[in-house]
Amino acid sequence: MTVSQKIISLLTGVIALLSLSACNGIFEDIYDEPLAEENNEYGFIFVDSMTNTGRIYIDATDYTEWHYIDLHGKEVTTKSVEEPSPSNWDFAIHRYDAKTNGGAVAESNATDIMAVPNISTIPEEAYIVDEWTSDQITIDMSQMMDGVIIYAEDYYNPCLSKWLNVDTSTMPPIYTLSGKVYIFRLSDGTYAALRLSNFMNDAAVKGFMTIDYLYPVQL
Amino acid sequence: MIKKFLLILFGILCITNATAQRRISGIVTDMNNEPLPGATVVVKELSTLGAVANVDGHYELRLPDNKDYTLMASFVGYIDVSKKVSDKQEDVLNFQLTENSITLDQVVVTGTRTPKLLKDVPIVTRVISDLDIKRMDATNISDLLQTELPGIEFSYSMNQQTSLNMSGFGGNSVLFLVDGERLAGETLDNVDYSRLNMDNVQRIEIVKGAASSLYGSNAVGGVVNIISRESQEPWSVNVNGRYGAHNEQRYGGSVGFNAGRFNSMTNVQYTSIDAIDLSNGTDNEEVGDYSMIYGNSTLNIKERLIYTPIDNLKFTARTGYFFRERNSSESQKERYRSFTGGLKGNYNITDKDDLEVAYSFDQYDKSDYLVFGDLDVRDYSNVQHILRALYNHTFADKHILTVGGDYMRDYLMSYQFTDGGSYIQHTADAFAQFDWNPHKKFNLIAGLRFDYFSEAKLSHLSPKLGLMYKLGNCSLRGSYAGGFRAPTLKEMYMNFYMGNIFMIYGNPDLKPESSHNLSLSAEYMKGNHNLTVTGFYNIVDNRITTAWNQALGGQVYTNMSRLQVMGVDANASGKYRCGISWRLSYAYTYEHIKKGEPMLSATRPHTATARIAYDKDWNNYGLSVALTGRYLSKLTTDVYTEMTSYEQTEKQTYPGYTIWKLSFAQRVRNGINITLVVDNLFNYRPDYYYSNSPSTTGTTFSVGLSLDIEQMSKK
């Protein structure tokens, strides 16, 4: 073979090798694999009875659903916005919105569920009860691009809903988690501590809510 | 450089032959009396006789007898000077050459795919030189193109992604190349422009109008080709940094060497900028469609190794890594990566034949980094493998036949496909072009290309015909070219629930976009001045867009009806011995659609750029001062009042604006360069930030320092 033939055959070999070994790309290993959603558990995915803490994971991507959380029975019940609420529930979420079953919520400065402040130090006026709204609970976004958003009339807790701030003054909106622990006084007089840890799933889809809780809080 | 080398070689050969009667010697200098080493002096009447100026600009040659002869001195970048010698004259003859004002000796490749002098290319080509890049201290291509060329506008599309409009054509209709290679990946129809950093760029060539006969799909409205610099010095080391407003930082470095048959260049660049709060300094939080520009950082690493085993064979291996992170929230950062590689062989078989065989690989990934859980999850990957062969044959030393072909395997995995799936498309093409130069004043170029796309089951032919006629100081150019863009895998197979709000569906039955481009241009050159006027007319059929489909209750990719885009580009420039130069460019674009249909244009009709510069080099100091401005006229267009129905439109006006930039680039001693830039000199601030408003909050400053270590080590 002449020099040029040798070089051409070498070049062809290298090209064949490169293209075969990496047809669909290289360095796949630098990425993390998202958990497949169908295998995911929802509800109370972790409960530690020693410390009374746990984690709740909810698929709240659907605009037409409320997810009712029963801290006593450790159960999540999903209902359509038109349906009546279940018989036992303590608080509920719809997308990033939250409401309580006759309770009240105060924002603490704590950012760790294990560092809940002494309940007696929280002044009564810090507790915010639910309010009736007609422009918070979005149930139909399909005409949003035309400037039409359809809301449901419902209760809404403005304090607990501060766990995620969505700044729509800029496009796309900026999402900021408060990271704070919220003190939730249930209607039966017991207390829970709640903290929204995440609002996305592994694939960065928004509306998957991860809530850490402590219940009951020892008085 | 090659030309210079050949001239020197030619000179040396000639000197050895010069063994006769009369000795003529002298000095070749520029207008500042600086010697021009390497300048050639030839005897017009005796084509084999000539000499080359030495380091002091001194030349010497022997004429065979005492007859009258004409001596001509030439040097790359300077205008030739001829002088007569008669027997009565002294034997000393000095030459003073004027710099060629409008670097027409510039070699360009984009318009023909073979190296040609700018003044001899039948296709109008605009060049942004390394001096222009250096003067502006440009980091990215978008900033530079907007400053240098009218008719180019980068704005934001949805999700704060960068979107291009070049004289009526969007990002997917303008083909961006790096040394002739395509880029993988896109976001909302635009390649990642931040990959195209201006580090180690020799020049940028811009060809407006269709060029699919050479480049295939996407070259509907134009081609932008970024040409990298080859290291010439035995070794070179550069470190540079820049600091500017909004905590903008840039650090870079390069190492190059030229040893025997190896030539290598390595570049690293890191940039970062904080988020820009556009409401800063106002009492209004909602200052526009957007009020916060996300902060981001980039890392770009490039390596190129050239090996020349024998004189007529050259191998180029290159590899690159790019990383960009956008801080869109505290919980999530978007990441963009690319891995690039290539191997190319150039073989000059004979003086008349050369062959290029190349393999190129480009992968562009998008991933989301989720702070909660510390996860980096990829949801997009585009991988392109391209094999190419290109052969040139020169007939009678002046006519060039170019034939070539490419094969591409295009793999696309995307979150916008069902279950994050993937598709593969194979494309193949073959093309031929003949560059006919029957007379030095006349040039005709004709080309044809055939493209095939496996998934779209599409075959397409793209023709081209270009003519150039030189008349005195004028060059007249006319061309017809076909352009097309094949439907992409994204456009064919998208199945995406947009923000949990509405669906966007792909359409496998899309027709390709196609265009007919007619262009006529006149160039006038005299001394230090150049004036070029180009008129263009495009017919664009089946442009691909999305439209609401009532039956599906979502958006569907679809072909648009016929659109016409026409306009005029005018460019005037001058350059003087004292160091002053100026350039004024204007573009007018008009888009027309069938009567009764709304004109949803995003193209501003009038745009202009202006530059006045002063460049001067002394022994220990060099200075470049430039004032550049760009003007964009207001745009009034129709917008639909509802996205889900196309019955009603309303007029929307986007205000025009003018922005000026002042830059001072100084060289202190050898190799120390300091650049100061004042951007938005007259403190322009939009009243309302539309997506096509400049994202400026007023006048900003930046300072840059660049050290060429190898030059500092020289005396």
DSSP single-letter state for residue B403? E
Q: How many CB atoms lie within 10 A of CB B285?
A: 11
More confident residue, A141 or B492: B492
Beta strands B222-228; B174-178: pairing state: parallel
Give the Cα separation of B569 and B585 in Å (integer). Answer: 7
Mean pLDDT, chain B, whole residue set: 90
Work out the percent of chain B whose per-residue pLDDT is above 70.
94
Give the Cα separation of B105 and B481 in Å (integer). Answer: 26
A141 to chain B: closest CA residue:
B501
Q: What mean pLDDT comes out for the span B72-94?
A: 78
CA-based nearest residue to B537, from B462, B588, B469: B588
Q: What mean pLDDT comes out for the span B174-201?
A: 94
A1 touches chain B (CB under 8 A): no
Ramachandran area for residue B500 (φ above 0: left; ψ -120 to 50: alpha; else beta)? left
In this complex, the residue of B291, B309, B373 whose CB is nearest that of residue A202 is B373
Q: What residues pair up with B412 in beta bridges, in sequence order?
A: B382, B423
Chain B residues with beta carbon closer than 8 angstroms to that of A203? 368, 377, 379, 415, 420
pLDDT at B7: 47
More confident residue, B715 or B382: B382
| Widest distance between CA atoms in chain A | 92
Chain B interface mutation, best of A200, A211, A212, highest count of B Cβ atoms under 10 Å: A200
pLDDT at B620: 83
Cis peptide before A172 (omega within 30 of 0): yes
**Which amino acid belongs to residue B92?**
V
- Assign domain B2-97 to its CATH architecture: Sandwich (2.60)
Are B332 and A200 within 8 A, CB to CB? yes
Q: With contact defined as beta carbons under 8 Å apart, do B466 and B444 qualify?
A: yes
More confident residue, A184 or B98: A184
DSSP single-letter state for residue B245? T
Q: How many CB atoms lie within 10 A of CB B603?
A: 22
Chain B residues with beta carbon closer than 8 angstroms to that of A18? 341, 343, 359, 361, 385
B368 to chain A: closest CA residue:
A204
Domain layout of chain A by residue ranges:
37-214
Give the Cα separation of B710 and B136 in Å (integer). Answer: 23
Chain B: nearest CA to A179, how far in angstroms?
Answer: 10
DSSP single-letter state for residue B171? G
Q: What mean pLDDT comes out for the span B231-251?
A: 92
| Separation in Å, CA A113 to CA A89, A194, B513, B614 | 21, 7, 57, 65
pLDDT at B627: 96
Beta strands B292-293; B58-63: pairing state: unpaired
Q: What residues pair up with B567 in beta bridges, in sequence order?
A: B536, B589
In this complex, the residue of A34, A143, A175 whose CB is nearest that of residue B331 is A175
Paired tokens of A18 = 């490169």
Chain A: nearest CA to B386, how far in angstroms?
Answer: 9
H helices of chain A, in order, are: 3-21
* pLDDT tier, B88 (very low <50, low <70, confident <90, very high otherwise): low
Helices and strands in chain B, H and E counts: 6, 46
Say whether pLDDT at A4 is over 80.
no
B377 to chain A: closest CA residue:
A32
pTM (2 decimals)? 0.85
Are A22 and B361 within 8 A, CB to CB? yes
pLDDT at B12: 43
pLDDT at A20: 53
- Assign domain B107-712 to its CATH architecture: Beta Barrel (2.40)
Q: With contact defined as beta carbons under 8 Å apart, do B91 and B25 qualify?
A: yes
Chain A: nearest CA to B315, how far in angstroms?
Answer: 10
pLDDT at B5: 46
A36 touches chain B (CB under 8 A): no
Q: What residues pair up with B346 in beta bridges, in sequence order?
A: B314, B356
Q: The complex's ipTM?
A: 0.80
* pLDDT tier, B164 (very low <50, low <70, confident <90, very high otherwise): very high
What 3-state DSSP class applies to B471? strand
Are B378 and A199 within 8 A, CB to CB? no
Chain B: nearest CA to A55, how far in angstroms?
Answer: 14
Chain B residues with beta carbon closer than 8 angstroms to that of A146? 641-644
pLDDT per position as a tens digit, B283-327: 877 788 888 899 999 999 999 999 999 989 999 999 999 999 999
Give the Cα separation of B210 and B519 in Å (integer). Answer: 10
Are B329 and A174 within 8 A, CB to CB? yes
Say whether pLDDT at A9 is over 70.
no
A11 touches chain B (CB under 8 A): yes
Chain B residues with beta carbon closer than 8 angstroms to that of A27? 339
Domain layout of chain B by residue ranges:
2-97, 107-712
Chain A: nearest CA to B32, how far in angstroms?
Answer: 49
Q: With contact defined as beta carbons under 8 Å apart, do B63 and B87 qualify?
A: no
DSSP single-letter state for residue B349? -
Chain B interface mutation, best of A26, A30, A46, A145, highest count of B Cβ atoms under 10 Å: A145
Buried b (16+ CB within 10 A) or exposed e, A119-158: eeebeeeebbebeebeebbbbebbeebeeeeeebebbbbe
| Widest distance between CA atoms in chain B | 95
Work out the percent of chain B whose per-residue pLDDT is above 90.
65
pLDDT at B100: 62
pLDDT per position as a tens digit, B571-628: 999 988 788 999 999 999 999 988 767 677 889 999 999 999 999 888 789 899 999 9
pLDDT at B152: 95
Angle at alpha carbon of residue A142, lines to B500 and B491, rounded to 5°: 65
Beta-carbon contacts below 8 Å between A and B: 137
Paired tokens of A87 = 């018989």
**Which amino acid belongs to residue B56?**
D
**Which amino acid belongs to residue B474?**
C
Chain A interface mutation, best of B289, B385, B424, highest count of A Cβ atoms under 10 Å: B385
